[in-house]
């Protein structure tokens, strides 16, 4: 005990490790503080309250989404992006629903979005449609990934469903 120089990013690091290893339920002010060898109250100055801890997790979650190589064809970039988001959902099923609870305006959230914008522009969409289509795609992918990771799909074949959806989206983008 008695540490000094605690920083926000150090706290969020510890929070992320705890969540990744022992699940969201294991993330408490007390457990995070213990991991950092400080008292729970030491956290408040740096992260506000527990919601601040969760906001940090949302940032990290966005940062986990792999950004596909810009040299690849746009279709492949979109497919890889969607696949990456599903993979994040499967790896962090309990954290993933947090993405619905905050506007995706942080820098970490911007990178996947800009990647999608660029791909949709290359696909030939008008600038207005690019923004709308990105929201449609991200909403669908988020809903799909959350359904899959959360168990809403039950025992059914998510892969076949995903292929069907991808086919229709492909049709829209190349109409």
Partner DNA sequence: ACCTGAACACCGTTCAAGT
Shortest reach from residue 1's CB to a copy of itself, in Å: 32
| Closer Cβ to a copy of itself, 40 or 151, answer by number | 151
Using CB distances below 5 to 8 A depending on partner kind, what does residue 172 bind out of DNA, a copy of itself, none?
A: a copy of itself
Binding segment (CB under 8 A) for a copy of itself, from list 5-13, 14-22, 37-45, 148-156? 148-156
Distance CA 147, CA 130 (A): 25
Find the binding residues for DNA in span 27-46 (CB under 7 A): 27-31, 38-42, 44-46
Find the binding residues for a copy of itself in span 117-146 (CB under 8 A): 132, 135-136, 139-140, 142-144, 146
Distance CA 134, CA 119 (A): 10
- Answer for which of 9, 17, 23, 49 binds DNA (CB under 7 A) is 49
Q: CB atoms < 10 A from the CB of 18, how many?
A: 20
CA 122 to chain centre: 24
Q: Among candidates 144, 168, 70, 149, which has minimal Cα distance to 112?
A: 70
3-state secondary structure 107-168: HHHHHHHHHHHHHHHHCCCCHHHHHHHHHHHHHHHHHHHHHHHHCCCCCCCHHHHHHHHHHH
Binding segment (CB under 7 A) for DNA, from list 23-31, 56-64, 89-97, 144-152? 23-31
User: Which stretches of the chain bind a copy of itself, using CB under 8 A?
Assistant: 97, 99-105, 132, 135-136, 139-140, 142-144, 146-147, 150-156, 160-161, 164-165, 168, 171-172, 175
């Amino acid at each position: 005990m008695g540490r000094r120089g605690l920083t926000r990013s150090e706290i969020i690091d510890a929070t992320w490790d705890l969540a990744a290893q022992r699940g969201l339920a294991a993330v408490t002010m007390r457990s995070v503080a213990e991991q950092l060898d400080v008292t729970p109250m030491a956290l408040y100055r740096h992260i506000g309250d527990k919601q601040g801890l969760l906001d940090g997790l949302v940032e990290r979650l966005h940062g986990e989404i792999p950004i596909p190589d810009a040299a690849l064809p746009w279709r492949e970039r979109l497919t890889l992006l969607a696949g990456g988001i599903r993979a994040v959902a499967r790896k962090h099923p309990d954290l993933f629903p947090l993405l619905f609870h905050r506007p995706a305006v942080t820098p970490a959230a911007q990178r996947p979005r800009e990647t999608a914008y660029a791909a949709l522009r290359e696909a030939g969409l008008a600038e207005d449609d690019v923004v709308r289509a990105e929201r449609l795609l991200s909403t669908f992918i988020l809903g799909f990934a959350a359904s899959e990771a959360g168990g809403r799909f039950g025992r059914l074949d998510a892969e076949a469903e995903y292929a069907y959806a991808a086919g229709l989206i492909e049709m829209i983008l190349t109409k």
